[in-house]
Amino acid sequence: MSIESHEQPTSYLSTKLLSIHNVNNWELYILEKLSIYPDVGQAIRRGVPFDPARPTTNDLFPGTAQRMYSFLPTDLTTLDPPSLLDFRSAIKTFDKLERLRRDEEAKVCHLLISSFSEEAKMLLRSVPAFVTAFNDNDSFAMYRIAKESHTCASSFAVAQSTFHQLLSIKKTGTFAALTDTLLNHRRTFAAIFDPTATGNMRLDDIFTMVLVNALPDSEFQFMKDKLYSEDLKGTFH
């Protein structure tokens, strides 16, 4: 996947771009930008995906138990002529609105991509769920994953998960593919543990993750939950 930003709007300040250390500023700024998108943008602001349902012959009038369409008395799978006309009209209207929604979705996705710093793009390239959302033009998922990935980028849970992912990599294809995968994970690993590119990290950090992973949940669940819920920004730097 190639996550590249096109020419950014001149009003988009570089100091507002998403990065590990700038999540709050980015969120406030991007939510303000999303106010001009009445459906997809508002869905992100409300935290509820905008997913309009395609009309079906079994639809009910909103807030009632009354059917919108009637079937033939002798055939409960075939709409009567008036209902068939209404249903076809509803489908045409939905298709038109869906095209408009997809256009708005694409614009919001472009806005999100243009709001990522190079650091953010580097981290998100190694997040499979984000790659899927990016390929699907799913702006709601892109926003959520981007925010969560950076909000938790220095938390114990994400640091531990990143370390375990690195140890689980195996050669399943060509050697070139393996080295590319390792390089992508190395960049993510470095962004969390060595953001200043010193080439060093504390051994205590690694052994703390190994220790926590080895402890049984039955006895240490509270301690683990506390570690996973706390923002330990700076702990692994």
User: Digits of tens for pLDDT over the chain (237 positions)?
Assistant: 555 444 444 456 777 899 877 887 898 899 999 999 999 999 999 988 888 889 999 999 988 999 999 999 888 889 999 999 999 999 999 999 999 999 999 999 999 999 998 888 988 988 888 999 999 999 999 999 998 887 754 456 666 777 777 777 888 888 888 888 788 777 767 766 776 677 777 777 778 777 877 888 788 877 776 666 565 555 554
Whether 98 and 208 map to the same domain: the answer is no
Residue 72: what pLDDT?
A: 92
Q: Establish if 237 belongs to a structural domain.
A: no
Whether 22 and 99 map to the same domain: the answer is yes
Q: Establish if 1 belongs to a structural domain.
A: no
Q: Establish if 8 belongs to a structural domain.
A: no
Whether 97 and 57 map to the same domain: the answer is yes
Q: Establish if 6 belongs to a structural domain.
A: no
| Dist CA 108 CA 33 (whole Å) | 9
Whether 223 and 122 map to the same domain: the answer is no
Q: Final residue of a domain: which of 127, 151, 175?
A: 151
Whether 27 and 134 map to the same domain: the answer is yes
What residues are paired with 71 via a beta bridge? 79
Whether 164 and 126 map to the same domain: the answer is no
Handedness of CA 107, 1, 138, 136 (dihedral sign): positive
Residue 225: what pLDDT?
A: 67
Rounding to the nearest 10 degrees, give the CA dihedral for residues 160, 192, 112, 37.
60
Whether 194 and 144 map to the same domain: the answer is no
Q: Final residue of a domain: which of 123, 151, 179?
A: 151
Residue 213: what pLDDT?
A: 78
Residue 60: what pLDDT?
A: 93
**Residue 123 and residue 149 in contact, taking contact as beta carbons nearer than 8 Å:** yes
Which phi and psi angles does 3 have, rounded to 5°? -100, 95
Q: Establish if 236 belongs to a structural domain.
A: no
Going by the DSSP 8-state scheme, the letter that residue 75 receives in this structure is: E
Range of the domain at 174: 156-229
Q: Establish if 3 belongs to a structural domain.
A: no
Whether 147 and 160 map to the same domain: the answer is no
Whether 118 and 21 map to the same domain: the answer is yes
Whether 120 and 224 map to the same domain: the answer is no
**Cα-Cα end-to-end distance for the chain:** 29
Q: Establish if 24 belongs to a structural domain.
A: yes
Q: Final residue of a domain: which of 124, 151, 178?
A: 151
Q: Establish if 174 belongs to a structural domain.
A: yes
The domain total for the chain is 2
Distance of alpha carbon 7 from the chain centroid: 22
Whether 33 and 132 map to the same domain: the answer is yes
Whether 78 and 138 map to the same domain: the answer is yes
